[in-house]
Amino acid sequence: MNERKSSGRVTARIRARARRLRPWLAASAASGAAALVAVLLPVSPATAAPAAAPACATAWNSGAVYTGGSTVSHGNHNWQAKWWTRGETPGTTGQWGVWVDKGECGTGSGNPDPSGFIVSQAQFEQMFPNRKPFYTYQGLVDALKAYPEFTKTGSEEVRKREAAAFLANVSHETGGLVHVVEQNQANYPHYCDKTQPYGCPAGNDAYYGRGPIQLSWNFNYKAAGDALGIDLLNNPWLVERDPSVAWQTGLWYWNTQKGPGTVTGHQAIVDGHGFGESIRSINGTLECNGGNPAQVQSRINRFKEFTQILGTTPGDKLSC
């Protein structure tokens, strides 16, 4: 009897101790399971933000001589020469050729430019190294909303070609995006066509050339303003004060106006008429058909330079 009581007391103490240990054992088991899972399952590393691509080097020129170590840009990539070369296009010489692909430049780690524009900001800066601060890249990007078909028609080759054509003509008109307004002030009073029913409410001398395409004449300010929903007839100075408005007037003319030509600048490129017809639509009366061949050639030279920067081809029918 005493043995059974003693045995019962021992059993009760063991059960009580087990009850006290149960939470600790459960916690230990959970901790051990978590540690085992941590060991067995790989830990995902934090996703790093894509590194920005380096700036594009000076654009490759088919007539230039390059020596070993020279770096150029072509087709949105930087390339380094392994030895002396001239006339060998980067990207066409293969693994054992002269050019080594150093990776994408200007647009950032293989991603398209955040603006969605086919010309990256780095390429824009490369085209216009001496531009006036007024002509901002962001102002151009903002203006694209007004004409979504611009650089969005046709193959990538054609879309880049149109961007190069527009910007080449713009560069010619503004001295490389240096001039915001027409430099010859003696011409200012000439741009008021008084035969128009709306006249020249901003003043007879208020409609001089402004902006990337050097918009001039009261009837052009009226038409551009009506198309863009901006009162440029009464406030033409907006074109020299607001970068976005300035770029919009340039795109308005390029996409909708034939000028002295038969097609718009946009149509000249996307329909295959050639760069020469874009010159005709802008200043054909004074430059084309032998009027000023030096000016025509200046536009062509800049167009070829810009097509190289964008990694596209100029096509044919470059002159007018």
82: CATH: 2.10.10.20
At 293, which CATH number?
Answer: 1.10.530.10
* H or E segment and range at residue 140: helix 137-143
Of the residues 86, 111, 136, which one is the last residue of a structural domain? Answer: 111
For residue 21, is it within any domain?
A: no
Token representation of residue 17: 């101790």
Residue 148 CA: distances (Å) to CA of 12, 74, 141, 315: 86, 26, 11, 23
Distance CA 234, CA 249 (A): 15
Let me know if 157 is a catalytic residue: no
- pLDDT, tens digit, for every residue of 264-310? 999 999 999 999 999 999 999 999 999 999 999 999 999 999 999 99
Tokens at 54, concatenated: 């380096």
Cα angle: 93, vertex 99, 100; to 5 degrees: 120
pLDDT for the residue 270? 96
Residue 13 belongs to a domain: no
Are residues 192 and 64 part of one domain?
no
**Nearest one of 182, 177, 250 to 220, comparing CA atoms:** 250
Asked if residue 320 is part of any domain, the answer here is no
Q: Smallest Cα–Cα separation from 88: which of 62, 116, 123?
A: 62
Provide the Cα torsion 246, 249, 255, 260; round to 10°: -120
Q: Are 107 and 169 within one domain?
A: no
Question: What span, in angstroms and rounded, lies between the C-alpha atoms of 293 and 114?
Answer: 39
What is the reported pTM? 0.67
The answer to whether the CB of 315 falls within 8 A of the CB of 155 is: no
Number of domains comprising the chain:
2
Task: Classify residue 60: in a domain, yes or no.
Answer: yes
Is residue 20 one of the residues assigned to a domain?
A: no
| 96 shares its domain with 184 | no
Regarding whether 299 and 152 lie in a shared domain, the answer is yes
Q: Is 65 contained in some domain? A: yes
pLDDT tens for 125-171 read 999 999 999 999 999 999 999 999 999 999 999 999 999 999 999 99
Tell me whether residue 319 is in a domain.
no
Residue in 3, 125, 156, 173 annotated catalytic: 173
Q: Please, what is the end-to-end C-alpha distance for the chain in angstroms?
A: 126
Residue 97 lies in a domain: yes
Residue 316's alpha-carbon distances to 20, 119, 269, 274, in angstroms, are 92, 22, 10, 6
In this predicted structure, the answer to whether residue 31 has a pLDDT above a threshold of 50 is no
Residue 60's pLDDT band (cuts 50, 70, 90)? low
Examine the fold and report which residue of 66, 84, 111 is the final residue of a domain before the chain moves on. 111
Report the C-alpha gap between 296 and 1 in whole angstroms. 124
Q: Which domain holds residue 65?
A: 48-111
Cα 61 off chain centre by: 21
DSSP string, 70-139: -EEEETTEEEEESS-BSSPPTTSS-TTSSEEEEEE-SSSTTPPPTT--SS-HHHHHHH-TT--TTS-HHH
